[in-house]
Amino acid sequence: MYLSQIASPNDVKALDRRELPVLCQELRQAILESSAAVGGHVGPNLGVVELSVALHRVFSSPHDKIIFDVSHQSYAHKALTGRAQAFIDPARYLEVSGFSNPLESEHDLFAMGHTSTSIGLALGMAKARDLAGDSHDVVAVIGDGSLSGGLAFEGLDNAAACGCGLIIIVNDNDQSIAENHGGLYRNLAELRATNGTASNNLFVAMGLDYRYLEAGNDVLTLVDALEELRGCDHPVVLHIHTLKGMGFAPAEQDPEAWHHVGPFDLVTGEKRACTASAGPDYAELTATYLLPQMERDRSVVAITAATPYIMGFTPERRALAGDQFIDVGIAEEHAVTLSAGLAAAGAKPVLGVYGTFLQRAYDELWHDLCLNASPATILVFGSSVFGTTDQTHLGYFDISMLGNMPDLRYLAPVGPEDYLVMLDWSISQKDRPVAIRVPVLNDPASCKLPIAASYDEPAYQTVRQGSDIAVLALGDFFGMGERLADEIERRAGFSVTLVNPRFVTELDKPYLTDLARSHRLVVTLEDGVLEGGWGEKVARYLGPLGVRVRCHGVHIGFPDRYDPQELLAENGMTVDEMAADALELLTLSD
């Protein structure tokens, strides 16, 4: 086996040319076996095995700089840069992150997991090289799906202007996470169909040098093409055609389903049932709610930025929705601005998006949607410390982002029942943009929560009336708040007020004023960061009123592949510790 002998890229260079295809086969098998065991971005990584080998054959990382956009194509790169055992030895499968990570290797230049950044990062490195008078190569590898993000276009535009030596490899597998959408993909198709000779050429039009290589999964051809580009003194695009899922029939045949998967059977391709998520399936709930609405009302439009599955829109449901479903590609900014346009013209847009990716549309939320009070609905998925735990995709910064947008109403349902009522209310109202924080943690309250039919005015909900201490627990942390209230009652022997605030953006000021009069301590709980979060608003409002306030949440930072319960414990958020803290504070306020 060659792969197990690859301790660094130098070992790729030491192989005989004829051995490279064998190394590729070994790599592909290792990626398949490790992914089958622990899951991963199977499709994109299988497609770039040959490219990765060729890159490390031709260039000398880390002297030369190779930047893999979004890191979904970095497994083979990792295996070739001192981390082969993490793909060979089952006991070590979880040793490496699924993303580029400088703490893991000097060959990983950036922590990155959002798309479309590689060209700008590479251009910065190329520019710094030129200013320092150095002469190494800088290479950005970007998939066709990532090209639709405006940041990638800004990078191409500026690269052409700067004129620095820079190699941009467009890895075109004709597929984003789902199928591609956008005019640029017609151009990529035209270029593929003409072996790169079509006169319509986006890259050339932007002033970039351009090469095309059809045999993107032929390692020796790739080596030759890259050799030609070494030391290139100007920006050049090498457009290569690869096959997503290459070498694994199920992934080749259904690239959307195999973009990212959990564990699966390597022989049959059957996916192993995950036992973790026994709770409500919010994707299913969303699609099965929306589809009949869309059928009844042509003005209801569902929008995604390349992640239709998060709102349950399978290929079959997308076909049913027809022109009322829009996939804008990886383009969250445009998704929000498009929603503002739709809403202004009387339509009812519903945008489903991961909170971590919605960060890309901060200004569009502020300037297009909120400033214009556009009645669009945004469903924010994955926003919780129990969401994705990779540092690149932390989903619990949404409250500090959305919570401070003027005229936005951000609602936090506790579970599926109030989620659907909120969604229904939001679509029917015409006053403002509404975002809904789709629960991630399945932790239902043991008590039956009354559900309001309207969210026209911010109004907190008393679930249990007590005295001295009030616990305000937001959204999917309501269950934790209930347990905290129970524990304090058990220890202290008196009733605690338990509140479901429901509104993230606006305070129920009369309610809070009353609370301050009748309580000595107010405790807030939220499934998000403390800094800029919801609890701080409560603390600020109560600050002059003489009641003590304790806000519970997670401090800002970039924990990576963390255990959610441990993260909460590190932030003092166990029921035990919070109860003890509350009782101690109560003593102080005597």
Site residues for a second copy, 289-308, by CB under 8 A, read: 298-299, 301
Given candidates 529, 573, 578, 579, which one binds a second copy under the rule CB under 8 A?
Answer: 529
x/- contact string, 250-289, with a second copy (CB under 8 A)?
----------------------------------------
**132 Cβ contact list (under 8 Å, min separation 6):** none
477 binds a second copy (CB under 8 A): no
186 binds a second copy (CB under 8 A): yes
Given candidates 18, 277, 544, 587, which one binds a second copy under the rule CB under 8 A?
Answer: 544
Given candidates 32, 302, 542, 573, which one binds a second copy under the rule CB under 8 A?
Answer: 542
583 binds a second copy (CB under 8 A): no
| Helices marked H in 39-132 | 42-47, 49-58, 75-80, 85-88, 118-132
CB of 526 to a second copy, least distance (A): 12
Span of 240-248, 326-334, 465-473, 564-572 interacting with a second copy by CB under 8 A: 326-334
One-character DSSP codes across 343-387: HHTT-EEEEEEEHHHHGGGHHIIIIIIITTT---EEEEES-STTS
Tokens of 275: 């036992």
**229 Cβ contact list (under 8 Å, min separation 6):** 137, 167, 211, 236, 238
C-beta of residue 69 within 8 angstroms of C-beta of residue 140: yes
392 binds a second copy (CB under 8 A): yes
CB of 582 to a second copy, least distance (A): 10
CB of 376 to a second copy, least distance (A): 9
Given candidates 8, 314, 404, 462, which one binds a second copy under the rule CB under 8 A?
Answer: 404
CB of 519 to a second copy, least distance (A): 13
C-beta of residue 506 within 8 angstroms of C-beta of residue 409: yes
Given candidates 199, 275, 277, 446, which one binds a second copy under the rule CB under 8 A?
Answer: 199
Site residues for a second copy, 121-180, by CB under 8 A, read: 121-125, 127-132, 148-162
CA quadruple 388, 391, 395, 396: dihedral positive or negative? positive
Site residues for a second copy, 485-524, by CB under 8 A, read: none
Distance CA 302, CA 352 (A): 8
Distance CA 315, CA 38 (A): 26
**457 Cβ contact list (under 8 Å, min separation 6):** none
Distance CA 115, CA 306 (A): 11
* Nearer of residues 510 and 546 to a second copy, judged by Cβ: 546
* Nearer of residues 54 and 376 to a second copy, judged by Cβ: 376
Site residues for a second copy, 367-386, by CB under 8 A, read: 367-368, 370-372
C-beta of residue 530 within 8 angstroms of C-beta of residue 556: yes
Site residues for a second copy, 31-60, by CB under 8 A, read: none
Strands 497-500 and 461-464 turn out to be antiparallel
362 binds a second copy (CB under 8 A): yes
